[in-house]
Structure 1
Amino acid sequence: MELQARQLTLNHLDDPVTIALKYPEAQSIIAELCQIEGQRLATKFKELKPGQAVAYSPRQLTTLELVIADLGTLQPSQDQSKLSPLWQLNSKLETELQAVLKQAFELAQNSKQYAAKNEQNQLTVLLGSQGLTAQELTKLAEQVSLSALLSEYRFDKYLSRDNRPTRINRLTLGLINGEATQLMALRRGIAQAEAVANAVLNARDIVNESPDILTPSALAKVSQEIAALSPQIKLKQFTATEMHEAGYPALAAISAGSDQAAHFIHLHYRPVERPSQGLTSLGLVGKGVTYDVGGLGLKPWQGQLGMKADMAGAAAVLGLFQVLAEYEAIGQPLAIEVHAVILATENLISGRAYKADQLLRTRSGKTIEIIHTDAEGRLLLADGIDYLSRQSVDYLVDIATLTGAAIKALGPSYAGLMTTDATLAEKFLAAAADSGEAVWPLPQPKEYQKLLKGKVADLANINSGSYTPDAIYGGLFVQEFRGDKPLAHLDIAGPAWDNQTGATGYGVQLLLSWLKSYL
């Protein structure tokens, strides 16, 4: 598959001072909405306060197509019986802004007059800019644009044209009483949003794709496409046999049950401009199981549904590398070195599939006893972590849809976090708050270490006891292969997939925020 450019066009208004004069009829609509909600708000665009915004469809200004908001934490109207698009929000800009814009789009699309009189599917957002610094305005523009792009996503390539949903395909951002430096900041925020959104949405596309199309070899091809985006990204690929001969047995064992070739993918980003004090080097491992039926430990048919998403960790890693390339393209490269490995395979069933009771000898010297073939992800992560621990990296992170236990413990919104370093944990919690992609620390009791031991090998890939805390077990297991490098383990089984809308692209923004904390 090929990387896609987004259909939603982001623009900025070149005449931010006089834009209010172009749509004077909107003033009466604002006044009408204020009366409906009992709020006292400005009735002229030019009187918008810093951080306030008006979102409307310029061709058909009706009460169903206008949102006025202070950008921040959502507090909806108390009267839910009215379909009113007006909210009064707190002052803090948070991820609920995405919900505001999404609602604006839905209200516009649901208007009876919308389809007939707004064929170009445009939406305009005017931002109150007076008193905002350039940095604040860049952040504001980035959040508005990113929210719009993410809200508009639908995986509809397999729907007939008649069944595809209507989309807003043009978002215009404008400033009220803006200055030239603020307009530059607005453009910068839009460019950053496009870079991140393209990566997140391509990650969603990769995970949502049909598993007969998105095979391990197809995932390797996507890696090639992303490496081709920047000369600063280098790519190496190895076969399962080559990795087995080098002392990394997991990929060969797990892929034995599939006719599809497995791939060990190593991406390396190193920027042109490097700080005099040297670069921080980060290592990422993404689980890339493109379809998982559990091997000989076969999942029931219900458990197989959605297992095309078992490579969401790999998609997040690829998304981060796409952001790195796109930041280079817009002249905003990040001065940090990043290594990443993706272990791409299927975990299927055949006469050649790996078996319970099978023993693996790893490069570290530790042996692993296979208790259950559906606990394959931690075996792949172990080899990837061991491989990167031997590179010149300062910190290691693995990201994987690893356990159903994480979903039972934390639900669909939180990734489980386990770290070997307190500072690393603090950085990920801060990155979660900044990106809106939530994590929750899991406990790491020392007494659980004994659960890892196998009967005839150093380690068992699961514990066969009735009450094994498998989300914690998986995190403790992969820590055995980190050497002396600090490791953060992210179990994204919950937030990577939404049963209604499909892949979420979780992890791209979290990893990006974490990466920026080292700049």
Structure 2
Amino acid sequence: MLEQLVEADDNATNLTVLRKGDLDGWLAGQPPSVRQWVEQTGFRAEPGAVCLLPGEGGALGGALAGLPDEADPWAFAHFPSKLPARTWRLAMPLPAAQAGQAALAWALAAYGFDRYKARKGKDLPRLAWPETADRARVEREVEAISLVRDLINTPAADMGPAELSAAADALAARFGAKCRVIVGDGLLAENYPAIHAVGRAAAQSRRPRLIDLRWGDEAAPKVTLVGKGVCFDTGGLDLKPSSNMKLMKKDMGGAAHVLGLASMIMAAGLKLRLRVLIPAVENSVSGESMRPLDVLATRKGLTVEVGNTDAEGRLILCDALAEASAEKPALLIDVATLTGAARSALGTDLPALFSNDDRLAADILEAGEAAGEPLWRLPLHKPYRRMIDSKVADLTNASDSPHAGAITAALFLQEFIEPGTPWAHLDIMAWNGAGRPGRPEGGEALALRALFATIARRVDG
């Protein structure tokens, strides 16, 4: 996708971007022939619309493209499919932030998952790098978003715990990080019993594991990212119906997100000590499966009654969060495709944000608005804590109530966070159900740039 962004040259064709209110003023400065042409084509600078302009001797003289009145980070993703395959340059400079968004959207409009099927279609046009764009920033964003999408889109047969671990290894090797993996019964030996319990039913080749990536100066502020890595979720003995199981290759979307975020952090060289923890499992059905009403041990020492084997994400996260929180990092963020309740409340595009720190939540929300990646904060409503009480254990992983599922899941995770640790939990979809310019159907990165901006501002300064 980065190949769609090129150096400007004398052969590049001008692309003039206009909002509806700017069109008449632009036309007033053009020759009558151009004014007549634009009027005859019916171009009114509607968002996403394109008008090719004639040049001398029948050549293509340039193009007009319509922008929305309100800021839209995906506005430029509409144009590559509508313009001829050549190099285009912006006729007028854009403010730095808008120039970066234009380059990012143009590049991501070329994304396609082609591991198993070659894409067919016309060559896509290229955009000369906008003069004011922060190239390094755009490059790391494109690479991170592509990584997230590719990991999620890969079928579970080729993206099990071992393959997810290999992706983390490759990322570590690229940036000089260290990556340690605890596999199978090693989880019991090192006291990660809940991760083991969820993943032990899988085949030997898909044994559960904890991926632990570390990078940066040990003396720098600690930032820890935790991602849910359920590489496929059958629901366990509480088996999902086929309609709900179909997209469960995306249940490692949280893990994909923290790897993508880690790649941005390391590429930018932020001055922090990064740790990434990914419990990677497959929630399968076999004689080794955990059962409803089993009581599981956890790393923190709390016991958990299994109210539902399909609420496994919080079980693997609780061990990873206990380990992460024990270090008392300056910032702890977890990302997970955790609950259908969050999707019912907010839909697929809007991640649910929970936090024990009001300032942290405000920073993430502000960064999300600035990046065009909105989130919505939901409360850690203390009175609902009673809904995850168990009669035989310290907690249950699934409330009997049909209400407040996203909140009770977040409250469950909070039990494993040490007091005083600034923590944010994102409950995300990680999937586009339908394609849009720059955002094809399939795996999707949500709030990635917002989280990076928050971390950079709070820790790196």
Flag whether TM exceeds 0.5 (same fold). yes
Residue aligning to 1:58: none
**1:225 matches 2:198:** no
Structure 1 residue 107, shift from structure 2 partner:
1.6
SS in 2 for 1:41: helix
Letter in 2 for 1:281: K
Q: Of 114, 118, 126, which residue of structure 2 is paired with 1:156?
A: 114
Residue aligning to 1:141: 99
Structure 1 residue 368, shift from structure 2 partner:
0.3
Residue aligning to 1:10: 5
Residue aligning to 1:390: 326
Conserved? CA contact 1:437–1:510, under 8 Å: yes
| Distance (Å, rounded) in 2 between the aligned partners of 1:489 and 1:226 | 23
Q: Of 420, 438, 444, which residue of structure 2 is paired with 1:504?
A: 444
| Distance (Å, rounded) in 1 between the aligned partners of 2:236 and 2:323 | 25
Conserved? CA contact 2:7–2:129, under 8 Å: yes
* 1:116-131 alignment, distance < 5 Å: 121-126=85-90, 128-129=92-93
Residue aligning to 2:127: 171
**1:286 matches 2:244:** no
Q: Of 202, 210, 220, which residue of structure 2 is paired with 1:258?
A: 202
Conserved? CA contact 1:229–1:325, under 8 Å: no
Conserved? CA contact 1:64–1:85, under 8 Å: no
Q: Of 225, 231, 241, which residue of structure 1 is paired with 2:185?
A: 241
Structure 1 residue 491, shift from structure 2 partner:
0.3
Query: Alpha carbons of 1:44 and 1:223: their partners in 2 closer, same or farther (altered >3 Å)?
Result: farther
Query: Alpha carbons of 1:255 and 1:107: their partners in 2 closer, same or farther (altered >3 Å)?
Result: same
| Distance (Å, rounded) in 2 between the aligned partners of 1:303 and 1:497 | 16
**1:98 matches 2:77:** no
**1:367 matches 2:303:** yes
| Distance (Å, rounded) in 1 between the aligned partners of 2:65 and 2:38 | 12
SS in 1 for 2:352: strand
Residue aligning to 2:150: 205
The count of aligned residue pairs is 431
Query: Alpha carbons of 1:39 and 1:477: their partners in 2 closer, same or farther (altered >3 Å)?
Result: same
* 1:66-105 alignment, distance < 5 Å: 86-87=65-66, 89-90=68-69, 94=71, 96-99=72-75, 101-105=76-80
**1:191 matches 2:170:** no
SS in 2 for 1:227: helix
Conserved? CA contact 1:431–1:514, under 8 Å: yes
**RMSD of the TM alignment (CA)?**
3.2
Structure 1 residue 167, shift from structure 2 partner:
4.5
SS in 1 for 2:80: helix
Query: Alpha carbons of 1:76 and 1:292: their partners in 2 closer, same or farther (altered >3 Å)?
Result: same
Conserved? CA contact 1:418–1:490, under 8 Å: yes
CA displacement 1:323-369 (0-9 Å, x = unmatched): 23333xxxxx2222221100111111112111111111222221100
Structure 1: 5+ residue runs without aligned partners?
1-5, 46-60, 78-83, 109-113, 115-120, 176-184, 328-332
Residue aligning to 1:51: none
SS in 2 for 1:454: coil
Q: Of 4, 24, 32, which residue of structure 2 is paired with 1:39?
A: 24
| Distance (Å, rounded) in 2 between the aligned partners of 1:75 and 1:389 | 46
SS in 1 for 2:127: strand
CA displacement 1:192-233 (0-9 Å, x = unmatched): 2111101111110110011101111000000000001112x2
Conserved? CA contact 1:12–1:174, under 8 Å: no
SS in 1 for 2:81: helix
SS in 1 for 2:227: strand
The percent of aligned pairs where both chains have the same amino acid is: 30
Structure 2 length-normalised TM: 0.85
Letter in 2 for 1:437: E
CA displacement 1:472-494 (0-9 Å, x = unmatched): 1100000000012122111003x
Query: Alpha carbons of 1:258 and 1:173: their partners in 2 closer, same or farther (altered >3 Å)?
Result: same
SS in 2 for 1:284: strand
Query: Alpha carbons of 1:417 and 1:35: their partners in 2 closer, same or farther (altered >3 Å)?
Result: closer
Residue aligning to 1:299: 240
CA displacement 1:265-313 (0-9 Å, x = unmatched): 1111215xx9xxx733211110001111101100000111111000111
Letter in 2 for 1:128: M
SS in 1 for 2:280: strand
Conserved? CA contact 2:161–2:208, under 8 Å: yes
SS in 2 for 1:105: coil
Residue aligning to 1:514: 454
Query: Alpha carbons of 1:253 and 1:123: their partners in 2 closer, same or farther (altered >3 Å)?
Result: same
Conserved? CA contact 2:2–2:139, under 8 Å: no
Conserved? CA contact 2:354–2:379, under 8 Å: yes
Structure 1 residue 377, shift from structure 2 partner:
0.3
Letter in 2 for 1:107: K
SS in 1 for 2:288: coil
Structure 1 residue 160, shift from structure 2 partner:
4.4
Query: Alpha carbons of 1:234 and 1:160: their partners in 2 closer, same or farther (altered >3 Å)?
Result: closer
| Distance (Å, rounded) in 2 between the aligned partners of 1:396 and 1:444 | 16
Which one is further off, 411-420 or 434-443?
434-443
Q: Of 461, 473, 481, which residue of structure 1 is paired with 2:408?
A: 473
Structure 1 residue 127, shift from structure 2 partner:
5.3
SS in 1 for 2:228: strand
SS in 2 for 1:517: helix
Structure 1 length-normalised TM: 0.76
Conserved? CA contact 1:268–1:340, under 8 Å: yes
| Distance (Å, rounded) in 1 between the aligned partners of 2:19 and 2:74 | 22
Query: Alpha carbons of 1:36 and 1:268: their partners in 2 closer, same or farther (altered >3 Å)?
Result: closer
Letter in 1 for 2:296: L
| Distance (Å, rounded) in 2 between the aligned partners of 1:424 and 1:39 | 45
| Distance (Å, rounded) in 1 between the aligned partners of 2:180 and 2:98 | 38
* 1:317-336 alignment, distance < 5 Å: 317-327=258-268, 333-336=269-272
CA displacement 1:134-164 (0-9 Å, x = unmatched): xx53x34322211111122111332245xx2
Conserved? CA contact 1:10–1:190, under 8 Å: no
| Distance (Å, rounded) in 1 between the aligned partners of 2:40 and 2:199 | 53
